[in-house]
Structure formats: structure tokens, C-alpha cells
């Protein structure tokens, strides 16, 4: 390429413009025709959003070039797609509309022993308690009366301060000891610090647990702090909830569920 031949549309005069490269700008028209009269659009047809991906219609979110009037890049479209997807997930969760279809884990098949199902490290001695031995342990009680035993270092239950009678615990030490020492139903929540749905699920699940004071052990596992526990339990993502009773795993649920589904499992096994 050596140049361009330009035509003046007013006079029809032509001239040569020496150039070595060319980027085509073909314009942009948002494909929002199907949304007319349903979602608020601007004068150019772009969807009007607020707070990242929200439209003026509750539960409807926009992503990509449909509302991007400035950048129009694949990477920005992908980013806004993630925002819209997470926003939709949170909306569905908040309104108890989420349903998940999951495959049965190989760990829960009939041919495996109960030892193969337990989500704890095979090397019992290789346990990282976290924090110093001087870390204080506090036993708190919620308004509903349920108690919890956690340490002052990252909230993990320390081995020397473990309380088998507490309802709520954190970390692999509590999980290991309760698995061997308790006859209560165990509810294990696997989370991670950057997991958005985990922040949605925690208060929901805590409220359900509080309804069964003294009947359930609830253990929270941070898979980044205790990765070997997650690997042993066949946990591939967060949040995941597992139910155990008498060293058998009863349920393995990735993602979010309605409160009623958690209650159904609890009622059937306490």
C-alpha cells in the first residue's frame, strides 16, 4: 500500500494521500432493536445502564457493546459480560430463584468406602493450625443461641482450643476432629476470599444453621488456606456445601441453593 485516492463528495475533485497503513472505521450500530419499548435506550439506540450493568428493568442486565459508547473492545465487552453475569446471579439468589443441576461426584459412588469420602487430609499430622499458640479463642453466641469456636488468627479453630460442643467452626482441624468425634450432622461450606457467591451464601446458610442450635456442626473451609482439604473432598469450585453424618457424605452441592433445600437435608438427617 502506497496511498489513498480521496474524492471530495461536494466537488468530485480527487487527490492522492500517501500512506503506508489503513484502519477501517465502519461505524457502529447497537443491535438493540428487540429491546425497544422494554429497556431504556439513548437517542443512538444504546442501552442506558447504571452501577455497571443494571438497566431500568429489575433483573435485566446489559453487557458489551450494547451499552458501550466509548471503548467497544473485545476485552471490555468480556469484562462487562462478567459483571452482568454476576449481577444476574446475585439477583436470582436474593430472590430465591436459583436452581442448579449437578452431576454425582465419583467420591460419593457406592463403590467407595467412607474414608474415601471424607474431605480431610490423609496425613493427619500435617495440619497447619494457623496463628501462634498465644492466639486467643473466643466462643460467641448469636441471637438465636448457636455458639461458635474460632481463634484470633484468621478465625480458624485451634486444636488446643477446640470445643466439640460449639455449633460453628472454621478450618481443617475442626473438620478433622468433628468427623471422628461427633455424631451430629455436619454441614461443610467451602469458600474462597474472592468468591462473590460465597458472600451471598454465608448469611443465608448461617440463618438456616441457627434454626437448629445444638443439633448441627457447621464448618467453614477456606480452600485457599486449606487446599488439601478441598482436593481430598473433590471440591472444584466455590461455594460448595457438603453434608456428612456418621462418616458418610450425604450431599455434595456446588453453587447456591434455596433455603428450603438446605432445610430438607437437615430435617431428614438430624
Residues shown for the chain: 270
Query: For residues 266 and 187, is the Cβ–Cβ distance under 8 A?
Result: yes
Our answer to whether residue 195 is catalytic in this structure is: yes
Here the cell at position 46 is 444504546
How far apart (Å, rounded) are the C-alpha atoms in residues 217 and 187?
6
Instruction: Please identify which of the residues 41, 188, 198, 266 carries the catalytic annotation.
Output: 198
Our answer to whether residue 103 is catalytic in this structure is: no
Instruction: Please identify which of the residues 35, 195, 216, 230 carries the catalytic annotation.
Output: 195
Instruction: Tell me how many degrees the CA angle 252-254-256 measures, rounded to the nearest 5.
Output: 120
Distance of alpha carbon 203 from the chain centroid: 13
**Segment (H or E) for 262:** helix 259-269
Q: What is the dihedral of CA 40, 41, 46, 52, to 10 degrees?
A: -30
Q: Is the bond preceding 179 in cis, omega lying within 30 degrees of 0? A: no
How far apart (Å, rounded) are the C-alpha atoms in residues 43 and 76?
22
Q: What are the two backbone dihedrals, phi and then psi, of residue 239, each rounded to the nearest 5 degrees? A: -80, 150
225 DSSP assignment: T
How far apart (Å, rounded) are the C-alpha atoms in residues 174 and 197?
24
Active site residues: 195, 198
Amino acid at each position: 500500500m502506497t496511498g489513498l485516492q480521496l474524492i471530495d463528495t461536494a466537488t468530485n475533485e480527487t487527490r492522492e494521500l500517501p500512506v503506508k497503513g489503513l484502519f477501517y472505521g465502519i461505524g457502529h450500530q447497537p443491535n438493540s432493536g428487540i429491546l425497544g419499548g422494554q429497556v431504556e435506550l439513548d437517542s443512538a439506540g444504546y442501552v442506558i445502564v447504571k452501577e455497571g450493568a443494571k438497566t431500568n428493568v429489575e433483573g435485566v442486565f446489559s453487557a458489551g457493546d450494547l451499552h458501550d459508547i466509548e471503548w467497544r473492545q473485545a476485552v471490555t465487552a468480556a469484562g462487562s459480560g462478567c459483571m452482568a453475569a454476576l449481577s444476574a446471579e446475585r439477583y436470582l439468589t436474593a430472590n430465591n430463584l436459583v436452581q442448579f443441576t449437578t452431576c454425582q461426584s465419583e467420591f460419593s459412588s457406592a463403590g467407595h468406602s467412607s474414608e474415601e469420602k471424607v474431605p480431610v487430609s490423609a496425613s493427619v499430622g500435617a495440619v497447619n493450625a494457623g496463628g501462634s499458640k498465644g492466639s486467643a479463642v473466643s466462643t460467641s453466641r448469636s441471637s438465636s443461641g448457636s455458639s461458635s469456636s474460632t481463634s484470633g488468627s484468621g478465625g480458624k479453630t485451634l486444636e488446643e482450643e477446640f470445643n466439640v460442643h460449639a455449633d460453628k467452626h472454621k478450618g481443617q482441624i475442626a473438620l478433622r476432629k468433628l468427623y471422628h468425634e461427633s455424631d451430629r450432622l455436619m454441614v461443610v461450606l467451602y469458600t474462597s476470599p474472592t468468591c462473590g457467591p460465597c458472600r451471598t451464601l454465608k448469611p443465608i446458610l448461617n440463618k438456616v444453621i441457627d434454626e437448629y442450635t445444638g443439633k448441627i456442626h457447621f464448618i467453614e473451609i477456606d480452600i485457599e488456606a486449606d487446599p488439601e482439604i478441598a482436593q481430598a473432598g473433590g471440591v472444584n469450585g466455590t461455594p460448595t456445601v457438603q453434608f456428612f453424618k456418621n462418616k458418610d457424605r450425604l450431599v455434595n452441592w456446588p453453587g447456591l441453593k434455596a433455603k428450603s433445600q438446605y432445610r430438607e437435608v437437615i430435617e431428614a438427617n438430624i
